[in-house]
Structure 1
C-alpha cells in the first residue's frame, strides 16, 4: 500500500480547487424494441440540471406549463362554445318565428279559401234560384156593388161620384224547389179612363217551396169624383146600364231567403188586366181569360 506524501496531497488539493465543480448527471430510462421481444434498456442520455437542481424541478415546471396550456386552450375554446350556443339559440328563435309565420299564413289561406268557396257556393245558389220565378194567374173578378150619383169633390165642385165594391182572385205559385218566398204587393188599382175608382191592399204572406194558394183581395172605392168622365155612367137607377171598360193593375213582389239573408233573390211581376163590368153580372165571379192580362 502506497502512502501519499504531503506533496502529493498538496498537489491533489490544489488541482481539486482549480477544477470546476462537476454537475450531477441524471439518466432517463427509455424502452427499446428488439424484434418481437420488448426489453428495457438504459441509454446514457444525461439530463443536466443547472445549478445542481434536482430533476423533479424540471418535471414540475413542465407540468405547470402544460396545465397553463390546457387552461389557455380551455379559455380559448370557451368563447367558441358560447358562440355555438348563441347560434343555436338564434336558429331556434328563427325556427319558432318561421313556424308562427307559417301558422299565420295557413290561417289566412284558410280564411281566404273559405270565403272564396262560400262566395262561389252562394253564387251557385243565386244562379240556380233565378229561373224559379213565381207564377201569378188572375182568376176572376166579382163586382158586388157599383153606384154612380151626383155629388161634389173636396173643393165643392159639382161632379158625378162613383162607389165600387169588388173582389179580385188570383193564384200564386212558388216554383222554388229548395226555398220559400215572402210575398207582398203594391195596391191593386181599378181605374176608369185613367181615374182610379177602387184600390185594394193584399196582405203579406209566406209561400213554402213547391206550393200555391188562392189569394182574394177586396178592391173598393167610395165616392170617387169622375168629373166629365162620368156622364156616360149615370142612370136613373144609379147603376151603369151599359158595359163599362175598366183596367186592373198591380205588382207582385217576392223575396226568397235561399241562404239566410246572404242569398235572397227578388222577383217582380207586373200585372195588367182589361176588365169589363157587365151590369147583368152583378155579384157574379167573372173569369178572366188568359189574353185579358199581361205579366211582365
Structure 2
C-alpha cells in the first residue's frame, strides 16, 4: 500500500532548493530521497478572498467586500464650477453670434450712392512774383467749391463718412489738396455736402506760364480732380461694420476768354473710379 502511494506521488516530486547543484538525472532516479518534497497543487480563485468591487453612482463610489459590507466613498464631480460657467458662456456667445447674423441679413444696408459735382471756381489767379530764393515764377491763388452728394438708401442705419481727401492736378503736378471733416448721412436720406479746396500764392514755376497760356485758348486749361473717401454702416458697433471705398475723378476745363481774366468752368465730367 505504501509502495502504491509512493508511486502515485512520484510524478509530483520536484527538486528541493538545497539540492539545486546535484545532477538532475540522479534526482529523478531516486524519488524517495529525503530532500524531495511533494508538489502541492493549489487552485487559485479568480478573485481573492477579500476581492473588492467598485460600483459607481452619479456622485459616489460604492465599495463592496465579501462580507456584504458596503461603504460609500464620495467622488469629485467632473463638472466643476468653472466648467459650467464656460459652457454657459460658450452657448451665450454662440446664440448671440447667430442672432447678430440673422439681424444683419434681415437689415443688410444697400450700397450707398456717391456722386460729385464741381460747384464753382471762386478764384483762379496767376501772378508773377519772386520766391524766397529769388527765383522769378508764377504764383497761383485758387479757391473752389465742390458738392458731395450722398444717397443713403438704408431704412435703418445712418452712413458715416470718413474725412474725404480732394486733390487738384495739372498733369502730374498736384497744386492743391484738402482733407475734410467727418460727415454723416441719416437713414433713407439724400444729403449734399459742400467742400472747399484751395491754395494761396502757390509757386508754379515752369507750369505757371503754361497754365496762363492755356487759359487764353478756346480749348481751355485741363485740370483733374481726384477725391477719395471711405464710408461705413455701423450695424453692431465695430463687430458688423461694412465699409465702402469711393474714388471719384473729374476732368474740368477752365477758360477766361472774354471774362475779364476771371476763369470759369467751361466743361466738367466726373466718373466714379471705384
TM-score bracket relative to the smaller structure: 0.5 to 0.7
TM-score with structure 1 setting the length: 0.58
Match of 1:251 among 215, 228, 234: 228
| Per-residue deviation, 1:147 | 0.8
Match of 2:129 among 141, 151, 169: 151
**SS of the counterpart of 1:231?**
helix
**SS of the counterpart of 1:275?**
strand
Structure (1/2) with the larger helix percentage = 1
Structure 1 Cα separation of the partners of residues 250 and 263 of structure 2: 19
Match of 1:181 among 147, 150, 159: 159
What do residues 122-178 of structure 1 show as CA deviations (whole Å, max 9, x unaligned)?
Answer: 455667777722211113330111111112334332211111111011201223333
CA shift in 2, pair 1:212/1:286, >3 Å:
farther
What do residues 268-291 of structure 1 show as CA deviations (whole Å, max 9, x unaligned)?
Answer: 1111111111326858787844xx
- 5+ residue gaps in structure 2? 1-66
Find the counterpart in structure 1 of residue 51 from structure 2. Answer: none
* Rg comparison, structure with higher value: 1
Structure 1 Cα separation of the partners of residues 222 and 192 of structure 2: 25
Find the counterpart in structure 1 of residue 187 from structure 2. Answer: 209
Structure 2 Cα separation of the partners of residues 251 and 273 of structure 1: 12
Structure 1 Cα separation of the partners of residues 237 and 83 of structure 2: 30
Match of 1:276 among 246, 249, 253: 253
TM-score with structure 2 setting the length: 0.62
Which structure has more relative contact order (CA 8 Å, sep 6+)? It is 1
- 5+ residue gaps in structure 1? 1-79
Structure 1 Cα separation of the partners of residues 265 and 93 of structure 2: 54
Aligned alpha-carbon RMSD (Å) = 3.3
Find the counterpart in structure 1 of residue 242 from structure 2. Answer: 265
Mapped pair 1:161 → 2:139: yes
